Amino acid sequence: MILEYVKSAMKIAHYERLEDDGSYYGTINGFEGVCANEATLEECRDELESVLEDWILFSVSKNAELPVINGLSLKVKEVNA
């Protein structure tokens, strides 16, 4: 489920090439603070995915609500041991 969620989020990522240095900048709408800036588009995609994964883990650790992507949602369920 998590992998499918990450893949769905990456499909809506937006990339632009920066004029000043020719590097690539990537963001994902709805995921505030998730961005990457790298020399090549491939490096930017890889870094953006890594940042997204870290953002998801951090959000889950804070019990924050995650965006719904293509009908997919991640919810933290409390488990009593």
- pLDDT, one tens digit per residue, over 25-48 is 999 999 999 999 999 999 999 999
By residue count, the chain amounts to 81
Residue 31 in domain: yes
Q: Which residue has the tokens 């499909």?
A: 11
Residues of the chain with pLDDT under 70: 78-79, 81
Q: How many domains does the chain have?
A: 1
Query: CATH code at 14?
Result: 3.30.160.250
Q: Kindly report the number of other CB atoms within 10 A of residue 70's CB atom.
A: 12
Residue 68 in domain: no
- Note the pTM of the prediction, 2 decimals: 0.90
Ranges of H-type helices in the chain? 2-11, 41-61
Residue 79 in domain: no
Query: What residue numbers bound the domain in which 48 lies?
Result: 2-61
Q: What is the pLDDT of residue 79?
A: 65
Q: Is the dihedral of CA 58, 61, 62, 66 positive or negative?
A: positive
In the sheet that holds 13-17, the strands lie side by side as 13-17, 24-28, 35-38
